[in-house]
Amino acid sequence: MSVNLGDMAFSEYRRVLKRAEDARLKGAFSDAAAAYRQCAELYRQYAASSTDPSIRKQRLKQSEIFLQKSRQYGSSSVSHQSVHHQEARKEAAGPADRDDYEADVLNLRQHTNIKWKDIGGLEETKNSIKAAYGMALAQKPKGVQINSWRNILLFGPPGTGKTLLAAATAGSLEADFFNVKVSNLVSKYFGETSKLISALYSVAHQRSPSVIYMDEFESLTPPRDSGDSGAERRIVSTFLSELDGLATKEDESFILTMGATNFPWLLDSAMLSRFQRRIYVPLPDEAARKSILEIHLTRRGHKTTQDINEWVKATRGFAGREIEQLCQTAIASMTQRANPGLLDLVDQGRKALSKYEIKIEPLTENDMKSALDQIHPITTADMLRQYDDWNHQSEHQM
Ligand SMILES: Nc1ncnc2c1ncn2[C@@H]1O[C@H](COP(=O)(O)OP(=O)(O)OP(=O)(O)O)[C@@H](O)[C@H]1O
Ligand SMILES: [Mg+2]
């Protein structure tokens, strides 16, 4: 993960915020005021690190809130005592605990360089997602309310670009990308999972705009006959309330939750009703396969002896991931053929290798055929029918 000044300011801010809150809870108000002032400055630096004016504006607002807190605790007034007692009660659950979770949450962040142009096909899907955050982040006319989607469910066969879509969304928004595999979360934190989910949303809120990607989303719905433990119920209800949005009207922070699943029919209606947009990410059609092949072959400097449309025809029924694997396998067979002396060079050592430039040839029909022998699509016609049925049914329910 790359470290930039904004990230440094943010982690320093978190450290100082803890100091401010500890001081406040102990009643050391002038220390708290000084630390809040420092928080404001660090948040201002964090704001300056974004190139997006709307993100900057929103973070500067947060910085202003810390300044106000600093002023509030700096002026010695009796009313602090009651503020202190109220808040101490609220936080009796243990701020240290919560901080531990927030540290774990920061580890879920992933740096992404994926751009929209790295995703072949799925034009309509890309446009729906862009429209969702465009509406959420653009200025609304005074006095006008426009609701925007903040929860999107992506469903479809494996390897069709769901994770890519989420990464590109985060990349193009300059947003933090929290990539969460729900089954890992539940098995790692079990009874504590709902605390982690709250911490996740709290950090995502502070670092807005954020994209929370919840993969294997169906794992959040326990099987109906599992006896439904209290812990599981708590996880689901915490998550449902986070999906309903902490967003108040004045809150301009933006968290886009993207759930992804290969098994949408396992989700229960309470969960589904939170996703205003459910987007089917299907197997690529001809045009999409052609652009995926361009991404994984042409743009990587490879040519084919046959018309590329032969490859398009041969990959009917393949998901994007399988097309990528097919390209890699074909490229490997070509490079082996074109570089027969490479193994000898390996035996001679690194110096000999570093002087050698790999030879490249156009990919032949044989390269394609030998790759097709090894890579097979896993999505069956039955599965496709199931996705289509669910898609129709779900459209009628919305
Ligand atoms: N539309 C696409 N354009 C370009 N490459 C793609 C596309 N779809 C898939 N790929 C390739 O396949 C890989 C896997 O895609 P991705 O992880 O987004 O699939 P997924 O839908 O999230 O799968 P799963 O349901 O198994 O999690 C990508 O890293 C990319 O290399
Ligand atoms: Mg995925």
One domain for residues 129 and 255: yes
Nearest CA to ligand 1 atom 30: 321
Nearest CA to ligand 1 atom 25: 158
In a domain, 253, yes or no: yes
In a domain, 101, yes or no: no
Q: How many domains does the chain have?
A: 3
> What pLDDT score was predicted for residue 246?
52
Burial class (CB in 10 A: 0-12, 13-18, 19+), 89: exposed
Nearest CA to ligand 1 atom 26: 158
In a domain, 105, yes or no: no
In a domain, 185, yes or no: yes
> What pLDDT score was predicted for residue 397?
67
Q: Which of 92, 124, 139 is the last residue of a domain?
A: 92
One domain for residues 272 and 129: yes
One domain for residues 264 and 297: no
Calculate how far, in angstroms, residue 161's C-alpha sits from the geometric centre of ligand 1.
3
For residues 282 and 156, is the Cβ–Cβ distance under 8 A? yes
What DSSP state is assigned to residue 65?
A: H
In terms of Cα–Cα distance, which of 20, 39, 128 is closest to 84? 20
Angstrom distance (rounded) from CA 163 to CA 166: 5
One domain for residues 278 and 305: no
Angstrom distance (rounded) from CA 240 to CA 254: 17
One domain for residues 256 and 245: yes
> What pLDDT score was predicted for residue 166?
95
Q: Which of 28, 59, 92 is the last residue of a domain?
A: 92
In a domain, 384, yes or no: no
For residues 306 and 365, is the Cβ–Cβ distance under 8 A? yes
> What pLDDT score was predicted for residue 227?
54
Burial class (CB in 10 A: 0-12, 13-18, 19+), 227: exposed
Calculate how far, in angstroms, residue 161's C-alpha sits from the geometric centre of ligand 2.
7
Calculate how far, in angstroms, residue 320's C-alpha sits from the geometric centre of ligand 1.
5
Q: Return the C-alpha torsion angle 138, 141, 143, 148, nearest 10.
A: -30
Q: Which residues constitute the domain of residue 47?
A: 5-92
Angstrom distance (rounded) from CA 88 to CA 71: 19
Calculate how far, in angstroms, residue 177's C-alpha sits from the geometric centre of ligand 1.
17
> What pLDDT score was predicted for residue 139?
84
Residues 6+ apart with CB under 8 A from 137: 54, 173, 209, 254
DSSP H/E element including 181: strand 176-181
Calculate how far, in angstroms, residue 165's C-alpha sits from the geometric centre of ligand 2.
9
- For residue 284, which ligand has an atom nearest its CA? 1
Peptide bond into 377 cis (omega under 30): no
CATH number where 347 lies: 1.10.8.60
Q: Which of 92, 124, 154 is the last residue of a domain?
A: 92
Nearest CA to ligand 1 atom 10: 320
- In the sheet that holds 151-155, the strands lie side by side as 109-110, 176-181, 210-215, 255-261, 151-155, 277-280
257: number of Cβ within 10 Å:
27
One domain for residues 269 and 326: no
CATH number where 138 lies: 3.40.50.300
Residues 6+ apart with CB under 8 A from 329: 370, 371, 374, 375
One domain for residues 125 and 179: yes
One domain for residues 320 and 209: no
Task: Give residue ranges with CB within 6 A of ligand 1.
Answer: 119-122, 158-164, 215, 262, 292, 295, 320-321, 324
In a domain, 97, yes or no: no
Angstrom distance (rounded) from CA 256 to CA 212: 6
For residues 377 and 318, is the Cβ–Cβ distance under 8 A? yes
CATH number where 11 lies: 1.20.58
pLDDT tens string, the chain, 398 residues long: the values are 446 778 888 888 888 888 888 888 788 888 888 898 898 888 888 888 888 888 888 888 888 888 888 888 776 443 444 444 444 434 444 445 666 788 788 888 888 889 999 999 999 889 988 888 888 788 888 888 776 668 899 999 999 999 999 999 999 888 999 999 988 887 777 778 888 888 898 899 888 889 999 999 888 875 555 555 667 777 888 888 888 875 444 456 788 999 999 999 988 888 898 887 899 999 999 999 999 999 999 999 999 999 999 999 999 999 999 999 999 999 999 999 999 999 999 999 999 899 999 999 999 999 999 999 999 999 999 999 999 999 998 877 66
Residues 6+ apart with CB under 8 A from 76: 29, 30
Nearest CA to ligand 1 atom 7: 320
The token pair at 264 is 């949408």
Angstrom distance (rounded) from CA 117 to CA 168: 9
In terms of Cα–Cα distance, which of 316, 235, 299 is closest to 271? 235
One domain for residues 226 and 340: no
Q: For residue 120, which atom of ligand 1 is closest to its CA?
A: 3
In terms of Cα–Cα distance, which of 206, 116, 122 is closest to 160? 122
Q: How far is CA 240 from CA 244, 268, 392, in A?
A: 6, 12, 24
In a domain, 383, yes or no: no
One domain for residues 264 and 180: yes
In a domain, 258, yes or no: yes
One domain for residues 276 and 393: yes
One domain for residues 53 and 114: no
One-letter amino acid for residue 156 of the chain? G
Q: Given ligand 1 and candidates 258, 321, 378, 379, which is best to mutate, with the most ligand atoms within 8 Å of its CB?
A: 321
> What pLDDT score was predicted for residue 378?
93
Q: Which residue has the tokens 């699509």?
A: 377
Q: Which residue has the tokens 């962040």?
A: 109
Q: For residue 122, which atom of ligand 1 is closest to its CA?
A: 1
Angstrom distance (rounded) from CA 32 to CA 311: 65
Calculate how far, in angstroms, residue 131's C-alpha sits from the geometric centre of ligand 2.
22
